[in-house]
Structure 1
C-alpha cells in the first residue's frame, strides 16, 4: 500500500513554522523600531490611563491632572509647592534623551493671582547628571523672576561654571504661554545653539557652549522648583510668600535631524501686538564658582507685571486627580500602536502560512489515496 508522505516531515514543518513566525515577528517589531528608538515623547494629559513621567517631589508638593484653567479647555497638570518650610520642588522628569538636537515644546500658565517675587521660580530645566555627587547648576533653566521670564545657560570653562542670563520678556499671569526650545547641545569641539520662541515669536537665542561636556546628556524637567526654598537656605525667601501654583500642558519632545534647521519665526519688537517685551541685550558670561560650590541665588528687584483685564479663574485644586507615575522611557502612544500592529500582522501571516501548509499536505494525501 502506498502511503502518501507529508510535503515536509512533521518536525521540519514545525521548525519551518517557528522560523516563519520568528521572522515575521522580527519584521513587525523592526517596522516599529524607528518610532520606539527615536527619543521623542509627548504628554497631553487628556487620557486618564496615560502614565506621567517620573515625579521628582521634595516635600509635600503634588502634580495632579484636572481641568485646564484660562479658558483653554481640556485637561492640564496642576503643579504646586506648599510654603511649609521643607517643600521646594514638584517636577516631571523625562530622561533617556541623547546629546544631539531636539525641539522641546510645552505650554504653561501662571494663575492670575501669581505673586511676583525677587527670586527664581524655575518652571523648566535641563539637568546633566554628573559623574560625582557634587551639587551643580542645571545647564539650562527657564524661570520667572519678579515679573519677567528669563533663561539661564551654564557651561564649564577652566574648571569654573560660566553663566549667561537671557531675558525673555514680561510674565503674563492669567495667560497660556506656548514655548518652543530648539536646542543643539554643544560638544567639547563643537558649539551648540539655543533658539527660544514664545507664542510663535522669537524671544531669545544663544550660540556656543551650553553644557558641561561630562556625565550623562542633559535630561528634561518641567514643573516648579524654588531653589531659595531649600530648607538648608533658611526662611529668608519664604517670608510673605504663598504656595507656588502653576499649570503645564502639551509637552512634546522631538528628536530632530542635525541638518534640519527650524523654520524662521518673527522676532519680538515690543508694543501691544507682541506677546512680551523685546528681549534686552544678554549680558556676557560670568563665572559662578567651582562645580563643588553650592549655587547661590542673587536677589533682584521684581519688575512690575500686570495681569490681563479679564482672567478666567483657575479651577479648584479639589477637581484635580492623581495620575500614576511611570518611567519616562516608555514609548509614546504612536510607537506602541505601531508595535501592536506589527505583532498582530506577524501573527496573522504566521497563521496563514500554517493554514497553507496544512491544506497542501491534505491535498497531497488525498491524491495518494486516489491513486491507491
Structure 2
C-alpha cells in the first residue's frame, strides 16, 4: 500500500510519489522471487513424491529407489541389468535440453564386488536422436572399461563417424564418485568443449566437434548400458559375467555460459590441462586425459566415508545455479530498485519544493492583507 503523503492543490506530487512507491514495492517482490533458471533440473531421490525421469529399460532391468550404500546417508537409485540373455539397458532419460551449454553433475557408486570386464559398461551418455531414426553411437559416453573410467566422444566427418577415447583414471569399487561435466555443444561452424572433474579434480577435457550437427540436440541418459549384451550380438560376451549393479544419486543439470567451469582443485598429476575458455576452431578435436590414477583415487582425497556429505552434488548445482543463473537477475533487480528509489526520491524532493512555494505564497498574501 502506498505511503500517505499530503496532497498539493493539484495532487500531482502525491500521485507521482505513490506511483514511484508502487514501482519500488514491485521491484522488491521481484528480488524476493527470482524466476527459475531455464534448462535446470535435479533429482536427489529423497522425497517419495518426487517424479522420476522416464525410464528406458530393455529386458528385465530395474531402477529402484532405496537406502544408499557405502556409508552414504539417505536414498539413492539402484540400477541393475541381469545377465539373462535379453537385458542390456536400464537408464533414466532426461530430454528437453537445448544445444547450448550445460553443467551435468551426479554421484555414482560401483559396489565392492564389481566385476572387471574388458567391455564397456556405459553409466552416462549424451545421445542425439537422428532424423532418420536409425541407430547411432552416443555423441558422448562415460563408461567403466576393465579397471578404468573412460570417455568416448563422437562426431562426423564426410558422413563417417569419428571417435576419440579419453582415459579418466582408475575406477574404485566401493567409492562414491562425484562427477561434473561442463559441456558446450559444437555446431557446424563452431567448436565445442567438454571438461570433466571427478571428486573436484580435473580428469579430462576435449576441444572441437562433439556431436553430429544434425537431428535433435543431445539428451542425457544415466544408469547402466552394456552395448555388447544386445541380443543380436550373441551370447559370447555374457559368458562368465555377473549382472551389472550400480547406484546413482544427486543428479543435477544447470544451464551455463560457454567456458564456465566448476570450482576444482589443481589438475591431478598427469591429468588433463584445463581447456581454453575461447577455443579456436579446429578440424581435429583435441582430447586430453590421463590413464594413470588421479590424486582423487588415493585414500583421504575423497569425501570421508563416501557419504558424510550426502547432497554435496545437489548443493554444488544449487550454488552454481545461483552464480550463473541469478547474477543477471540480481543486476536487473538492482537496477530496478535503484531506478525506483531515484524516482521516489525525486518525487519527494519535488513535493517539498511545491509545499515550500505554497507556504511562501500564503505568507505573502497574509502580509498584503
Q: Which residue of 2 aligns with 1:74?
A: 74
CA distance, structure 2, for counterparts of residue 157 and residue 261 of structure 1: 28
Question: Equivalent residue of 1:193, what SS?
Answer: strand
Q: Which residue of 2 aligns with 1:40?
A: 40
Q: Which residue of 1 aligns with 2:105?
A: 105
- Aligned-residue offset at 1:307: 11
Native 8 Å contact 1:172 1:307 kept in 2 = no
Q: Which residue of 1 aligns with 2:234?
A: 234
Higher relative CO (Cα under 8 Å, sequence separation at least 6) belongs to: 1
Q: CA RMSD in A?
A: 3.0
CA distance, structure 2, for counterparts of residue 119 and residue 67 of structure 1: 29
Does residue 148 of structure 1 match 2:171? no
Q: Which residue of 2 aligns with 1:165?
A: 165
Native 8 Å contact 1:93 1:221 kept in 2 = yes
Native 8 Å contact 1:164 1:285 kept in 2 = no
- Aligned-residue offset at 1:265: 3.8
- Aligned-residue offset at 1:196: 0.2
CA distance, structure 1, for counterparts of residue 284 and residue 232 of structure 2: 28
Q: Which residue of 2 aligns with 1:367?
A: none
Q: Which residue of 1 aligns with 2:119?
A: 119
Q: Which residue of 2 aligns with 1:13?
A: none
Q: TM-score, normalised by structure 2?
A: 0.65
Native 8 Å contact 1:202 1:266 kept in 2 = yes
Question: Equivalent residue of 1:190, what SS?
Answer: coil
CA distance, structure 1, for counterparts of residue 40 and residue 151 of structure 2: 23
Q: Say how many residue pairs are matched.
A: 256
CA distance, structure 2, for counterparts of residue 307 and residue 70 of structure 1: 17
Runs of 4+ in 1 over 6 A off after TM superposition: none
Once the two structures are superposed, what CA deviation does each residue of 1:296-344 show, in whole Å capped at 9, x if it has no partner? xxxxxxx9xx998xxx9xxxxxxxxxxxxxxxxxxxxxxxxxxxxxxxx
Q: Which residue of 2 aligns with 1:255?
A: 255
Structure-to-structure mapping, 1:359-370, within 5 angstroms: none
Does residue 186 of structure 1 match 2:186? yes
Question: 5+ residue gaps in structure 1?
Answer: 1-27, 271-277, 287-302, 313-372
Question: 5+ residue gaps in structure 2?
Answer: 1-28, 274-282, 286-292, 300-304, 306-369
Once the two structures are superposed, what CA deviation does each residue of 1:225-268 show, in whole Å capped at 9, x if it has no partner? 00000000001110000100000000010001236454454101
